[in-house]
Chains A and B, each alone.
Chain A
Amino acid sequence: MNSRERLLAALSHQEPDRVPFDLGSTQVTGIHVEAYRGLRAALGLPPVEPALCDTIQQLALPDEDVIERLGVDVRGLFPRNSHNWGLAIVDRGDAWEYRDEWGITHCRPKDVLYFSVVKSPLDEARLPLAAVAAHPWPNTGDPERIAGLREQALAYRARGQAVMLKGVLAGIFEMAQRVRGMQALLMDLAANESLACALLDKMLELKLAFWEMALPHLADVVDVISEADDYGTQTSQLISPRMFRRLFKPRLAELFARLRQLAPNARRFFHSDGSLRPLIPDLIEIGVDILNPVHITAAGMEPAGLKRDFGRDLVFWGGGVETQTVLPFGAPSEVKENVRRNLAALAPGGGYVFNTIHNIQADVPPANMLAMWEALREYGDYAERAQPD
């Protein structure tokens, strides 16, 4: 069974030979460059200057030797976007800064691990509605964004690997927050709905422009299409389920319907951090096949309960190891035990792809990454039957 067959079986809710493994196929299932250097050293692989698939999050693109050594099953296609393309980074002395194609200013103090948004272009308190249309939006339908990706996908396929394709902008909610400012957008949603909706419509339009350009060239060579947004928090949701259903769900439904038309054979992957349980039935209804990152420590996201209630309809991709305490701060033995328990809850019957919860961050000790991987090999073998606790 090759990697692609393994993944496709899992996505069809069947048990392959072992649980498929993703490391680095998207900008939400990856590994921070510092952790990546540590991982390579721990595996006894020579040091390299890693290519980044995401400058903002400082995510490494895993090299072929790591992919082979760890048996990673999924490869990502990274269209050119504001996290990896044409970044003019300016040295501000104590910080790195750049303004992206959306007009958003990102800053990374030199002793800090990540870039963060420090200035949004449409952050005026009483922003006129006309400012949305007047903003110089990036051309997401530019074919240059996918140059070379078809050849890359074919090469991965020839090696028996599964292929993931992501879009060029974050979720409609998250992207609207970045251009408007998070607080301002959240307040618009509650108090200036026409402005909020104009921004959400613009994000949907820019997403569709990308997919309508890209998928006619790529649909036949990709297995999974990834979309994302963030609706959950650690304890609840950022917005009420009522607001989600009224303002977001119809737009997401339009997006997923279009993806289904443009790429009928690809599975639809959706990423949202945090506590999401009340919204999961809505996501299933509008055509989400795969849920990521399965934030198992957020409220209502216990893996056994998720599998029981939604496992027939959804593939879980992530949730393989608790990432907020165990992976960075636990002992390797605790990491292994945590992986065993999560696999026992999520893997039976297939419908499961192993990944951490979101990217592996810079503070994860290499010994814990190895313990995670060893546990995946040990307990993720379907011939050995992962038994529920």
Chain B
Amino acid sequence: MHPLIQIVYQNVLDGAQDLTAAAVEAALGAGLEPGAILNDGMIPAMREVGRLFEQGDCFVPEMLISARAMQTGLEVLRPRLVQADLHAQGKIVLGTTKGDLHDIGKNLVGMMLAGAAFEVIDLGINVSPGQFVEAVREHRPQLLGISALLTTTMPHMKATLQALQAAGLRDQVKVMVGGAPLTEDFAREIGADGYSPDASRAVTLAKALVE
């Protein structure tokens, strides 16, 4: 790894927002390829954050500051990147289900996916089945991610899958679900394509689903 890319990698891993921006500037200034800075420095750093999280060596605060550093670095890099590099993995529409105003889990998933070169379209919270269907029709994503923190709002996930079916869109998008009260069994029962217990494993799942 080029030493300047190594510095980018380390700063993303450390969650050092301002130092990441400076390191990306420095790497660009030295004439390094924007795609290489992203693919050899920033994305591997986020992959390492995910690995440490799954292993229990890093927690949500550390994951968040790394994701923030990644985003800040990307802002510097974005004008110089070709679309193919930025969104190499594909597109995902994300949202928290109707009746549910919780968003940190969903946001973390979004940040980790953005850090793994997915294009993330975040519909926010309290998203109705109809709004999910509209977004799938409009954005044509490969993936749809639905989050719920409440047992009382989990039924809207099933309703969303049924609405996709009714709209004739179910075959065009893979649906992944997550949130504290959910289980693998629940995801299977409602006919989702995948379930992830946390933001890091959501990235692994998303990659597997688009392959």
Contacts and interface: CB of A to CB of B under 8 A. Distances in A.
Interface stretch (A67-75, A234-242, A253-261, A345-353): A234-242
Nearest to A117: B101
B99 A113 contact: yes
Given A118-B101, A236-B56, A190 B64 contact: yes
Contacts of A240: 58-59, 62
A239 B150 CA distance: 22
Contacts of B98: 111
B197 A187 contact: no
A112 B183 CA distance: 23
Given A113-B152, A362-B152, A191 B65 contact: yes
A235 B15 contact: no
Interface in B141-176: 150-152
Interface stretch (A209-217, A322-330, A377-385): A322-330
Interface in B8-38: 15-17
Nearest to B179: A234
Contacts of B60: 186, 233, 238-239
A387 interface: no
B126 interface: yes
Contacts of A237: 59
A363 B151 contact: yes
B174 to A, nearest CB: 23
Interface string B91-105: 000000011111010
A344 interface: no
Interface in B111-133: 125-126
Nearest to A237: B59
Nearest to A182: B104
Interface residues of A, number: 32
27 contacts: A107-B101, A111-B98, A112-B126, A113-B99, A114-B150, A116-B102, A182-B104, A183-B64, A186-B61, A187-B15, A187-B61, A187-B64, A187-B68, A189-B61, A190-B61, A191-B17, A191-B65, A233-B60, A235-B197, A236-B56, A238-B59, A240-B59, A243-B61, A325-B151, A328-B151, A361-B150, A361-B152
A109 interface: yes
Nearest to B183: A325
A109 B98 CA distance: 10
Q: Is the interface of B mostly helix, strand, loop or mixed?
A: loop
Interface centre among B56, B61, B101, B150 (most CB of A within 10 A): B61
B57 to A, nearest CB: 8
Interface centre among A187, A239, A325 (most CB of B within 10 A): A187
B180 interface: yes
A200 B162 CA distance: 45
B152 to A, nearest CB: 5
> Nearest 8 CB-CB pairs, A to B?
A116-B101, A190-B61, A234-B180, A186-B61, A324-B181, A363-B152, A240-B59, A190-B65
Interface string A220-253: 0000000000000111111110010000000000
B59 A112 contact: no
Interface in B28-59: 56, 58-59
B107 interface: yes
B198 interface: yes
Contact of B15 (A191, A238, A363): A191
Nearest to A177: B104
A67 to B, nearest CB: 26
Interface in B172-192: 180-181, 183
A183 B100 CA distance: 17
A107 B56 CA distance: 34
Interface string A154-189: 000000000000000000000000000011001101
A176 B60 CA distance: 16
Given A112-B101, A235-B197, 7 more contacts: A116-B102, A187-B61, A187-B65, A234-B197, A236-B59, A323-B151, A325-B183
Given A329-B151, A361-B150, A186 B101 contact: no
Contacts of A243: 59, 61
Given A109-B126, A235-B197, A186 B64 contact: yes
Nearest to B111: A183
B180 A233 contact: yes
Interface in A127-159: none
A190 B102 contact: no
Contacts of A114: 101, 150
B104 to A, nearest CB: 5
A113 B98 CA distance: 11
Contacts of B99: 109, 111-113
Interface centre among B59, B62, B125 (most CB of A within 10 A): B59
A54 to B, nearest CB: 16
A109 B156 CA distance: 15
Contacts of B15: 187, 190-191
Contacts of B17: 191
B98 to A, nearest CB: 8
Interface string A347-389: 0000000000000011100000000000000000000000000
A238 B17 CA distance: 21
B178 to A, nearest CB: 10
A113 B97 CA distance: 13
A116 B98 CA distance: 13
A361 B151 contact: yes
